[in-house]
Amino acid sequence: MYEAYYRFSAKPFQLSPDPRFFFSSRGHRRAMAYLVYGAHQGEGFIVITGEIGAGKTLLARMLARKLESQMNLVMAQVMSTQLGPEDTLRMVAAAFGLPMESNKAVLLRSIEQFLLGCRKQGKRALLLVDEAQNLPLNSVEELRMLSNFQLGDKSLLQSFLLGQPEFRRTLQSPALEQLRQRVLASCHVGPMDDPETEAYIRHRMETVGWRGDPSFSEDAYHAIYNYTGGIPRRINVLCDRLLLMGRLDGKHAFTAKEVGEVIDDMEQEFAPAPLHATGGVM
């Protein structure tokens, strides 16, 4: 709605992860370095955690894009939910394009044969598990068991586990000691600071053709940071609403005042509905 008004080529603050908008904050650069390092090792697990909306899924997509031109890779991504061990295996199989067998032994054999085929063709298999904090312990252990598949001394599958902070607590369970021993690297993606938040907003708008319209005052950037805590998804939601308000009210400049008005509107939308007294005769 506001794209044409501000002469943007697309929405700068869409919520769906899009590698075009990747912003290399200090935390994201560090996480990407771990991901690329792990990918080149070809074995074990890499663990990346971060707050809700911190950009973990976008990191995974950036990794896929970066590695496509560097190595002969077969990559699969699983968005995990509260799945038991066998259903987790079926999701892995489906992600690699295999039948979701009902028999566990047949399922494991199918996955192993697929991975062996990849290795014999000179390809490497990489599994990205997003929202890993949703997996029960026995399902995480099932992923660990897949790392036992080998050809000679070479592992057939490498896994990247991306999850919210509570996944780090899951990994501390005594039941996952063997998995912890196979973690090559682990890092946490924290929120951006105040200057990075401003740079992030400018970067997203410049990606779609921003040339200064609308303008943002320094106190507007600071107000956005204070409300969002530097979490990318929260920034996207607030800035999208700010630009929509600007289009409706014909604004081409934003200050902390306009940011505050949008925040008030958003908080009112999610406030509990008032209770209405009802009359009656007992």
Q: What is the pLDDT of residue 87?
A: 92
Q: What is the mean pLDDT of the chain?
A: 90
Asked whether 125 and 92 are in contact (CB, 8 A), the reply is no
Q: What is the pLDDT of residue 19?
A: 86
Per-residue pLDDT tens digits for 182-199: 998 888 888 999 999 999
Query: In this predicted structure, which of 81-90, 219-228, 271-280 has the lowest mean pLDDT?
Result: 271-280
Integer Cα distance of 22 and 17 in angstroms? 9
Integer Cα distance of 85 and 11 in angstroms? 40
Given the DSSP bridges, would you call strands 157-163 and 253-254 parallel, antiparallel or unpaired?
Answer: unpaired
Q: What are phi and psi of 265, to 5 degrees?
A: -60, -45
Instruction: Flag whether the pTM goes above 0.75.
Output: yes
Per-residue pLDDT tens digits for 9-20: 999 999 888 888
Handedness of CA 92, 96, 97, 103 (dihedral sign): negative
Domain architecture of the chain: domains with CATH: 26-189 (3.40.50.300), 192-267 (1.10.8.60)
> pLDDT category, 282, cuts 50, 70, 90?
very low
Q: What is the pLDDT of residue 196?
A: 97
> pLDDT category, 232, cuts 50, 70, 90?
very high
Per-residue pLDDT tens digits for 40-88: 888 889 998 998 899 888 888 888 777 776 668 888 988 877 888 999 9
Q: What is the pLDDT of residue 281?
A: 43
Q: What is the pLDDT of residue 60?
A: 81
> pLDDT category, 276, cuts 50, 70, 90?
low
